[in-house]
Amino acid sequence: MTPTAILFPGQGSQAPGMRDAVARVRPDLLALALDVVGEDPFARAEEGTNFAQPAIFCASLAGWAALDRAAPPAQRVDGDWMAGHSLGEFAALVAAGCLGERDGLELVTLRGRLMQRAGEQAGDGGMLALLGAGAAEQATELADAHGLAVANDNSPQQIVLSGARAKLPAAAQAAKELGLRAMELPVTGAFHSPMMESAVPEFAAALQQVEFRPPRVAVLSAVTARPFDDIPRRLADALTMPVRWRETMLELHRLGAERFVEVGPGRVLTGLAKRTLRDVELVNA
């Protein structure tokens, strides 16, 4: 069979019909979300990361379950590697048998709440997407010049900067002068930057209370662009460190992946893979 990497999306991939898909494929997971979150996260997914994260996590696992059921047993896609974009790492670890579903949902719910609170405490943080040829080459210099952090290295043509919202307009103007497009993102904080530091201690403590089992397939960390080593440490690091998604895709390809299957809501990762890799099969499940 074709060597396959399974990809799980992160925040910003929410799509209409997520709740219906979970209710249809994994009604037990929907009930668990209502219990853990305390209310329906799908109804408020557009309000902030505290609701968006558990909703997308559940939709991703429902997508994984639907993919598994869609094919005859002999043709089911199991995956040789898995990876997740930021939040998607939790769904990847669950799908790989490394993390229990309830533990994963509780961690994601806490993570979303802590990130929401960290954004509010740190002040008016935001994120700026840089788009176009040369974005990857120009991003670090732009970030350094304007007191921002590289938050997401998504593809050669898409980089996201993070930091104080007041600094974004000047960075956007400088990017445009370099021939790039710049777009502020509708987020509630400067994610994957030092402005998330206040969320780290409580989340790191929660991670230490969870059992992580050996994964049945390798799961790559988007912090290191390598298979997870110290899982609790890397998941805590991910709050303040950049998502090295471009490097993660290149590493999966180097390891032998020839087919990339995006599982969950949206098609964000399929588009990023298309801009990063050549001569591979891309599937949006």
For 10-119, list the strands marked E by DSSP. Answer: 81-84
60 catalytic per annotation: no
CA dist 275 and 45 (Å) reads 28
CA dist 267 and 251 (Å) reads 21
Catalytic residue chosen out of the listed positions 86, 162, 193, 221: 86
3-state class (DSSP) for residue 284 = strand
Q: Rounded to whole angstroms, what are the CA distances from 151 to 80, 160, 161, 192, 257?
A: 28, 5, 5, 5, 25
Q: For residue 177, how many other CB atoms are within 10 A of its CB? A: 8
Catalytic residue chosen out of the listed positions 85, 192, 221, 253: 192
Asked if 182 contacts 130 with a C-beta cutoff of 8 angstroms, the reply is: yes
253 catalytic per annotation: no
Compute φ and ψ for 131, nearest 5 degrees: -130, 140
Indicate the burial class of 226 (C-beta count within 10 angstroms; 0-12, 13-18, 19 or more). middle
Which of the residues are catalytic? 86, 192
